[in-house]
Amino acid sequence: MTNTKFDVLGIGNAIVDIIGRCDDAFLARHGAPKGHMRLVDAETVSRLYKDMGPGVEVSGGSAANTMVGIASFGGRAAFIGKVAEDEFGRIFAHDIRAAGVHFETPLSTSGVPTARCLILVTPDGERTMNTYLGVSPDLNRGEINPELIQSAGIIFLEGYLFDRPEAKDAFRQAAGTAAAAGRKVALSLSDGFCVDRHREEFLDLVKNSVDILIANENEITSLYQVATFEEAMQQAQADTELAVLTRSAQGSVICEKGKEPIVIPAMAADVVDVTGAGDLYAAGFLYGFARGLDLATAGRLGSIAAAEVISHFGARPQKNLAELARTQGLI
């Protein structure tokens, strides 16, 4: 897109992940819904942390991971999200800037700590997330810089933001500013349970405000409350210009309104930890789309990025994604 300073601007919860291993019994004992994200309070996160095994701390956050992926492809990415002026906040700010993403949201000094997510990885590589949002939802309208929004070709919003009214307000404002400036609005549905919590509002957004919808099979069937992927896909295709639907090992399907869906195979990977698979698929797709590549190539870039991130602990790429894409002859 022309006249843009950034290919994509992401807005989302700014989180540091604490990743550890556990077995299924541990999840059951703590009432953590396997494969999902649940919000927990400060007390619960403390109790769970005390009981869990040794952890590794890595910057995370869904839209933030996506922006880091876009930068790794060589794209121009920016991020808006709220952390505190504390150790985790400094880690988050350092890591996202060091990855080449523009990040200027001021650190909060309110005393509420930076968000953290305890990610429990079971032996099958599935991840179960327990998020204490801390200061993250305190993102307010004033921090959604309209000039920054207008300077990006696409703004990318994570559904998780809807879990707090303050952030939801900022979210809607950003979408409005982007639309008025003729920019594309992309939305990730984030999590099936998150969709359950906000179904009506998400449906309204998808029908009226969103140009690019990104969701996995669980999320899209939850949105439309249908039994099969095919039914959900048809409804998504009717409701949006572009729906990008991921299906784990079955790859992904890109549905443009009025056209034949494009099926993209998944890339083979030794699964260590699936955390970030959706975020990094979105990174590859949005990078390709923003750079004007055809939809099938954009989808394949998504598959490359997802395969890289699930082959190791943590939701941010460890290899240079542009190099991986060049090796595959895609860019």
Residues engaged in binding a copy of itself (CB under 8 A):
20, 49-50, 52-59, 68, 86-88, 91, 94-96, 98-99, 314, 316
Helix, strand, or coil (residue 195): helix
As a dihedral over the C-alpha atoms of residue 119, residue 121, residue 125, residue 127, rounded to 10 degrees, the angle is -30
Q: How far is the CB of 281 from a copy of itself (least distance, A)?
A: 20
User: Which is nearer to a copy of itself, 163 or 273 (by Cβ)?
Assistant: 273
User: Which is nearer to a copy of itself, 96 or 195 (by Cβ)?
Assistant: 96
User: Which is nearer to a copy of itself, 96 or 210 (by Cβ)?
Assistant: 96
Q: What is the C-alpha to C-alpha distance for residues 182 and 188, in angstroms, rounded to an integer?
A: 20
Burial class (CB in 10 A: 0-12, 13-18, 19+), 99: buried
User: Which is nearer to a copy of itself, 293 or 322 (by Cβ)?
Assistant: 322
Q: How far is the CB of 98 from a copy of itself (least distance, A)?
A: 5
What are the helix (H) ranges across the chain?
24-29, 42-51, 62-72, 87-98, 146-150, 165-180, 192-197, 199-208, 217-224, 229-239, 277-290, 295-309, 321-327
Q: How far is the CB of 60 from a copy of itself (least distance, A)?
A: 11
Amino acid in position 96: I
Q: How far is the CB of 91 from a copy of itself (least distance, A)?
A: 7
Q: How far is the CB of 56 from a copy of itself (least distance, A)?
A: 5
Q: What is the C-alpha to C-alpha distance for residues 308 and 328, in angstroms, rounded to an integer?
A: 13
Q: DSSP of 213-246, one letter per residue?
A: EEEEHHHHHHHHT-SSHHHHHHHHHHH-SEEEEE
User: Which is nearer to a copy of itself, 86 or 219 (by Cβ)?
Assistant: 86
Q: How far is the CB of 24 from a copy of itself (least distance, A)?
A: 18
Q: How far is the CB of 189 from a copy of itself (least distance, A)?
A: 27
Amino acid in position 208: N
User: Which is nearer to a copy of itself, 84 or 306 (by Cβ)?
Assistant: 84
Per-residue burial over 203-226, b if 16 or more Cβ lie within 10 Å, else e, is eebbeebbbbbbbbbbbbbbbbee
Q: How far is the CB of 164 from a copy of itself (least distance, A)?
A: 23
- Helix, strand, coil % over all residues of the chain, rounded to 5: 45, 20, 35
User: Which is nearer to a copy of itself, 135 or 214 (by Cβ)?
Assistant: 135
User: Which is nearer to a copy of itself, 55 or 176 (by Cβ)?
Assistant: 55
